[in-house]
Structure 1
């Protein structure tokens, strides 16, 4: 990303006193906005050395290996399920099985059948059996605890009907990393106060509302946390990742990408036309080796220096298998 020289912008706490204009010593209500350097002192970001000294060193993640008997039983169960699936398909095609396990309700209406080939084998004979445990609707915020809507099926999980009851459950499969989805607490309170102060239009993109004070403040805090000169923050999504990388990189550039990066980043890297190489997940030694090699050898065949070398990583690797 393009780095810019620091601007004499005075900002405050992320959740306080934010406006769209930037003026030194500007007053908002009865509060004088402090200089940005003083404001950032309240955020104490630890370096890796400090973190190591606190807990005796960073430890690698450890995962318990799957016992051999558990792996064998799992594969055996899956094989039996496939065997019965093939058997039932044969019985259906031979019109021997009269009571079908799953019937397409749209077939009698003249629609094209949903399942026609072997490619739908898993959906037809495995997924449909346990479809009731997937895509569960809820009647609450997706917080630490959720109210799951109870439902039953009368046609072998092709359709479901609600019973009018809910089930209180613990949410163990959520993207709610930072608690933004809670109905109470600091995130909810700050969101309400932010809407009262700034309205709801500020949830739009910068191309619509322009760069606001809180954008600059967030970017400065992020740059300070990462120990870099500058940063840029914008809303994230699949299209955001895949369509913005081609703006940052092009032919003659090199992208070094973490091997666990999301598919949207990988697509953006390929669309950019730049050369790319992957390095081992979170392995700084491997990254340094790839970076040194890229600087020393340059571009393939010509050995010319790369126009830019861009490192693409994620803050949270959401979909690591």
Structure 2
């Protein structure tokens, strides 16, 4: 019997060992579902080409942007074939996206009612408002997107003193004491030496990755990484190799090959090898296998860039993200990145880690040199929420919200499992995708739920694989049990109507045991 087996039997973390069970759901639908899905897409494509033919000869009005006649002999500005999906399929379900919100996006919110007279190409507003819609689509994990006058008094005071914006970069006139206070607090919260904040989460990735790696460097990127990470990697000029999602064997093979063979053609060693992963993957609801990745990083002398946009404030005993969730040392992650747009009810992002890393980015990051600083009242909002999570504001509100989010997440996932719908992701992840596969089904589902005053986000190609359209629920600490029960009841009804109850409860559960050096043992 191995030490790992003994540990699991004893149920104790003795001898420097600990275990983490990855309770993740990745269930495949019955074979006839993908067959019917691809068949449906085939029919849609045939009708799409027919409509394109009609548009070409003026039998149907073309709403898409197109070149003038004198421009057609040059490189087209508007790619015709690349927009095929958007003009023929996406536009048919566009009415379920981008609905204008006219209230605080809390657990309940108000939506403006709109209708289309030309099949979703343009909209007109009816003047009516759909009130008290259950919000199941916002990244408001801890419920801090709220209109609480008592809590926001200090934010209002900062707004009156500093104004709404700085209107300058940090290198010019954008440095303020409020931003320094925020950066010091972020470093304290993450338990690292230093941190730097930016005014946009997307730009935090896309402008800082090119500052860290370049030509002669290698980036190993998870295949499901966010577009901001992909863009940053491409802008860097580094060589990019993609590994299968959360597949440590595939990652280790790429690392080993990179160390052994070096750069193509010249065979020199790579200047840097940077592994880029996310904490929680926003389309899958999965949690990164951080201990295994850190073990591989140390073994092959690579660097690790961790994007905690969806995990910071949302998981972990103290809300410090996946590093806290796995009980890891923050110093083992070379670059800690996160955003304030989710759990903190604000905007912007941060890079944190060693002081020399942050000092380097202050001088070499395009966001630091060219982008405007974070608005002072927004900085105060982040400070307010972060102190609440840490408990330094003298209340237990942060701890209570963390516990409520974890409870709501497990309760909702358990109820969905009883409905026999196929869900993805980790059981502790507040991002809960429900697979519906066909674009027509997700459109019908979203329209029905809105009639029942439930706002949901549906996701399809190109954000997901073409045959894996889904509805994505985002759980919040602000949701009540009654709200979640209502969503489950309506999902149950529509699950029968749309025939999306395909689960046979064949999910993937892994138990991995590590020693004190984070090396995976036989489990």
TM-score by length of 1: 0.59
**1:167 aligns to what?**
130
SS at match of 1:64: coil
Deviations 1:12-63 (A, max 9, x none): xxxxxxxxxxxxxxxxxxxxxxxxxxxxxxxxxxxxx79xx99x73224113
| Alignment length (residue pairs) | 257
Is 1:139 the counterpart of 2:102? The answer is yes
SS at match of 1:244: helix
User: Residue 65 and residue 252 in structure 1: after superposition, are their counterparts in 2 closer, same or farther (change >3 A)?
Assistant: closer
**2:175 aligns to what?**
209
Deviations 1:86-133 (A, max 9, x none): 5556667778x7xx6x675999xxxx9xx9966655445444444333
Report how far residue 153 of structure 1 moved. 2.8
**2:186 aligns to what?**
218
**2:282 aligns to what?**
318
Report how far residue 262 of structure 1 moved. 2.2
Instruction: Name which of structure 1's ranges 157-166 and 285-294 shifts more when overlaid on structure 2.
Output: 285-294
Instruction: Name which of structure 1's ranges 131-140 and 280-289 shifts more when overlaid on structure 2.
Output: 280-289
User: Residue 159 and residue 310 in structure 1: after superposition, are their counterparts in 2 closer, same or farther (change >3 A)?
Assistant: closer
User: Residue 86 and residue 237 in structure 1: after superposition, are their counterparts in 2 closer, same or farther (change >3 A)?
Assistant: same
Matches within 5 A, 1:248-267: 248-267=212-231
The question of whether the paired residues in 2 share the 8 Å contact of 1:254 and 1:310 is answered with: yes
Between Structure 1 and Structure 2, which shows a larger proportion of strand residues? Answer: 2
Matches within 5 A, 1:1-321: 57-87=20-50, 104=63, 121-168=84-131, 169-184=133-148, 191-192=155-156, 195=159, 200-201=164-165, 206-207=170-171, 208-210=174-176, 212-222=180-190, 224=191, 230-284=194-248, 286-288=250-252, 290-291=254-255, 294-295=258-259, 298-300=262-264, 304-319=268-283, 321=464
The question of whether the paired residues in 2 share the 8 Å contact of 1:259 and 1:278 is answered with: yes
Report how far residue 67 of structure 1 moved. 2.9
User: Residue 286 and residue 192 in structure 1: after superposition, are their counterparts in 2 closer, same or farther (change >3 A)?
Assistant: farther
Report how far residue 212 of structure 1 moved. 0.9
Greater relative contact order structure (CA < 8 Å, 6+ sep): 2
The question of whether the paired residues in 1 share the 8 Å contact of 2:186 and 2:195 is answered with: no
The structure with the larger Rg is 1
Counterpart CA distance in 1 for 2:100 and 2:265 is 56
Deviations 1:193-236 (A, max 9, x none): 765787645797543115613212212322x2xxx655544344
SS at match of 2:230: helix
Unaligned runs of 5+ in 1: 1-48
Q: CA RMSD in A?
A: 4.5
SS at match of 1:143: coil
Unaligned runs of 5+ in 2: 1-12, 72-77, 285-463, 465-523
User: Residue 136 and residue 299 in structure 1: after superposition, are their counterparts in 2 closer, same or farther (change >3 A)?
Assistant: same
Counterpart CA distance in 2 for 1:133 and 1:116 is 25
